[in-house]
């Protein structure tokens, strides 16, 4: 039979005889802590969180009343029952102690049986409350687990039914285009099912303490580019704007578990896509803080302007079986294990995940991880465009901010326009001012192609030759041809890759 855990008691008295007497009465059935002054008692209470405190009132320095006030001010100690044991045996003294929040009052000289009974009354109440709380938590956990299992069963059956149904249709149709359509849908459903299986296996590994980390060299920038490319279809389907910004302080080569690192980033990015409505904005930024021994703390932020969360929902986010609520999961899908897995991986990597959110105000997830650098220091070989001026046109404010941040190290002067019409007006006002124009394609009032045609049609000599770079999420060959025919000089895909942008600037501004 498992031995019952002993309760703990802190005895606070400046008289050695009183401490010895009380300790003799209450041990060996309880764990005893001893203190002879008020501040030391407060420190012991914070560190050890005793179940009951026996507190003398008349002590040098900080008296018992002051100690009780400090204990009640702290969230850590405010709920610990305090029993005053004092030679002050007047009704006013007892009333003062009880009014300050004392649980009981024993007058000196004390009778051993009275001390033992009153302490046991408090301990009995504490243990009863703990049992009730444990039962309530067990019931809540059981209900949450049942909902999780039900959700998981539903989520797995949905893609499985699609796979079976689509493959059956594909087998029985002769039209090749229809057959391809059915097989494509079955393939998409199989990828969804694989994600669910990976989530379940991830939870199992964590619960069984089997999740481990590997250590290999990898290029963070390239890996992130691959990840965002995978999400491109979802981004386009929901007409979202994804902006990616990488700080130059991130070393080119890192050492760590690339798979687990990007599993976390993928979970955060997938959630942002899932909970951001059509035509919303998502911003992913990453930067590094140098630590000791060629170690960096990588920080990744994923910000969206989606549905947001209440404080209650945020408190449940990272706990298995307790995420968000059933209505959220039924509407948006998923089994609610992603952030639980992500939090565990982040902690294993020496970091953490935090969230800032408000209902209908979007969410910001911040993920940190400690990684080794493959080589000390960061390259200082930065393109210098001092004395040059760029016109950066994009209707999304976040994209303009990212563009400025990317070009900051080049020392180029940057002026921004919020749409094609504004970009055209700025250029017309001073054609000789701008050495290069970086133009988003899809903008209100006047898009990038229309603005380019208008600039090329101006009489100013420089307007025929000024490099105009198209920024677009659509990099299909036929579309790129249209941009070039309209008079654009080059193109860069979204999200913008800083290295590619620098190469294009160097090429068109004749800088090596």
Alpha-carbon distance of 268 to 266, in angstroms, equals: 5
Task: Tell me what pLDDT residue 45 has.
Answer: 93
pLDDT (average), residues 181-194: 83
- What are the beta bridge partners of residue 289? 297
Q: CB-based burial of residue 375 (10 Å sphere; 0-12 exposed, 13-18 middle, 19+ buried)? A: exposed
Task: Tell me what pLDDT residue 477 has.
Answer: 65
Residues ≥6 apart with Cβ < 8 Å to 189: 159, 160, 162, 163, 166
Helix (H, G, I), strand (E, B) or coil at 31: strand
Residue 330 has pLDDT above 60, yes or no: no
DSSP line for 68-85: HHHHHHSTTTTTS-EEEE
Q: Is the dihedral of CA 82, 84, 90, 93 positive or negative?
A: negative
Banded pLDDT at 376 (limits 50, 70, 90): very low
Residue 4 has pLDDT above 80, yes or no: no
Q: How many CB atoms lie within 10 A of CB 510?
A: 6
- What are the beta bridge partners of residue 288? 298
pLDDT (average), residues 339-355: 91
Banded pLDDT at 377 (limits 50, 70, 90): very low
Banded pLDDT at 379 (limits 50, 70, 90): very low
Q: What domains are defined for the chain?
A: 8-110 (3.40.50.2300), 142-207 (1.10.287.130), 216-373 (3.30.565.10), 389-508 (3.40.50.2300)
Cβ atoms of 159 and 190 closer than 8 Å: yes
- What are the beta bridge partners of residue 301? 285, 366
Structure tokens at 498: 């800083």
- Angle at which helices 397-407 and 498-508 cross, to 10°: 70
Cβ atoms of 269 and 302 closer than 8 Å: yes
> Checking phi first, is residue 373 left (phi over 0); if not, alpha (psi -120 to 50) or beta?
beta
- What are the beta bridge partners of residue 440? 471
Task: Tell me what pLDDT residue 475 has.
Answer: 60
Residue 3 has pLDDT above 50, yes or no: no
Alpha-carbon distance of 21 to 14, in angstroms, equals: 13
Residue 468 has pLDDT above 90, yes or no: yes
- How far CA 39 is from CA of 10, 82, 103, in Å, comes to 13, 15, 20
**Mean per-residue pLDDT over the chain, rounded:** 84
More confidently predicted of 33 and 89: 33
Closest to 467 in 3D by CA, of 500, 510, 404, 419 = 510
More confidently predicted of 391 and 312: 391
Banded pLDDT at 66 (limits 50, 70, 90): very high
- How far CA 287 is from CA of 65, 296, 380, 415, in Å, comes to 51, 10, 16, 25
Helix (H, G, I), strand (E, B) or coil at 48: helix
Helix (H, G, I), strand (E, B) or coil at 155: helix
Banded pLDDT at 107 (limits 50, 70, 90): confident
The structure's pTM equals 0.48
Percent of the chain's residues with pLDDT above 70: 88
Alpha-carbon distance of 399 to 19, in angstroms, equals: 68
Residues ≥6 apart with Cβ < 8 Å to 233: none
Closest to 467 in 3D by CA, of 439, 495, 443, 448 = 439
Task: Tell me what pLDDT residue 265 has.
Answer: 93
Residue 336 has pLDDT above 50, yes or no: yes
Alpha-carbon distance of 71 to 77, in angstroms, equals: 5
Banded pLDDT at 369 (limits 50, 70, 90): very high
Closest to 38 in 3D by CA, of 21, 56, 20 = 56
Residue 332 has pLDDT above 60, yes or no: no
| Out of 33-37, 59-63, 91-95, 133-137, least confident range | 133-137
């Amino acid at each position: 039979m498992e031995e019952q855990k002993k309760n703990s008691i802190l005895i606070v008295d400046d008289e050695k005889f009183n401490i010895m007497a009380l300790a003799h009465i209450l041990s060996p059935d309880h764990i005893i802590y001893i203190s002879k002054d008020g501040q030391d008692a407060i420190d012991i209470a914070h560190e050890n969180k005793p179940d009951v405190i026996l507190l003398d009132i008349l002590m040098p320095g900080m008296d018992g009343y002051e100690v009780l006030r400090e204990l009640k001010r702290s969230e850590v100690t405010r709920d610990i029952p305090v029993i005053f044991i004092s030679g002050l045996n007047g009704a006013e003294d007892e009333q003062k102690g009880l009014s300050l929040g004392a649980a009981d009052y024993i007058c000196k000289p004390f009778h051993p049986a009275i001390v033992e009974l009153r302490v046991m009354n408090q301990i009995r109440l504490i243990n009863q409350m703990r049992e009730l709380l444990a039962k309530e938590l067990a019931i809540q956990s059981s209900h949450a687990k049942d909902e999780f299992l039900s959700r998981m069963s539903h989520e797995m059956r949905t893609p499985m039914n699609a796979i079976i149904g689509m493959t059956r249709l594909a087998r029985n149709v002769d039209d090749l285009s229809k057959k391809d359509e059915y097989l494509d849908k079955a393939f998409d459903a199989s990828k969804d099912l694989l994600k669910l299986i990976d989530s379940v296996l991830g939870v199992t590994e964590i619960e069984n303490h089997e999740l481990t980390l590997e250590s290999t060299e990898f290029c963070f920038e390239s890996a992130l580019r691959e990840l965002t490319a995978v999400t491109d279809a979802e981004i386009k389907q929901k007409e979202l704007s994804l902006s990616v910004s990488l700080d130059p302080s991130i070393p080119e080569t890192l050492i760590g578990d690339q798979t687990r690192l990007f599993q976390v980033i993928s979970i955060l990015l997938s959630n942002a896509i899932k909970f951001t409505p059509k035509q919303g904005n998502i911003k992913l930024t990453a930067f590094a803080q140098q630590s000791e021994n060629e170690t960096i703390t990588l920080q990744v932020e994923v910000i969206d302007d989606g549905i947001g969360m209440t404080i209650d929902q945020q408190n449940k986010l990272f706990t298995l079986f307790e995420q968000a609520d059933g209505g959220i999961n039924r509407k948006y899908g998923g089994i609610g294990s992603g952030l639980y897995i992500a939090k565990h991986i982040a902690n294993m990597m020496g970091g953490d995940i935090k969230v800032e959110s408000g209902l209908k105000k979007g969410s910001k997830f911040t993920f940190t991880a400690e990684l080794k650098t493959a080589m000390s220091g960061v390259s200082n070989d930065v393109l210098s465009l001092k004395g040059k001026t760029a016109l950066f046109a994009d209707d999304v404010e976040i994209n303009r901010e990212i563009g400025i941040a990317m070009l900051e190290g080049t020392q180029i002067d940057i002026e921004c326009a919020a749409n094609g019409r504004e970009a055209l007006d700025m250029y017309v006002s001073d054609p000789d001012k701008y050495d290069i124009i970086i133009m988003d394609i899809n903008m209100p009032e006047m898009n990038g192609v229309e603005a380019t045609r208008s600039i090329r049609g101006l009489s100013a000599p420089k307007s025929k030759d000024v490099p105009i770079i198209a920024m677009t999420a659509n990099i299909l060959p036929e579309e790129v041809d249209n941009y070039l025919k309209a008079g654009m000089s080059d193109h860069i895909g979204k999200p913008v890759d800083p290295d590619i942008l620098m190469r294009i600037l160097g090429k068109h501004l004749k800088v090596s």
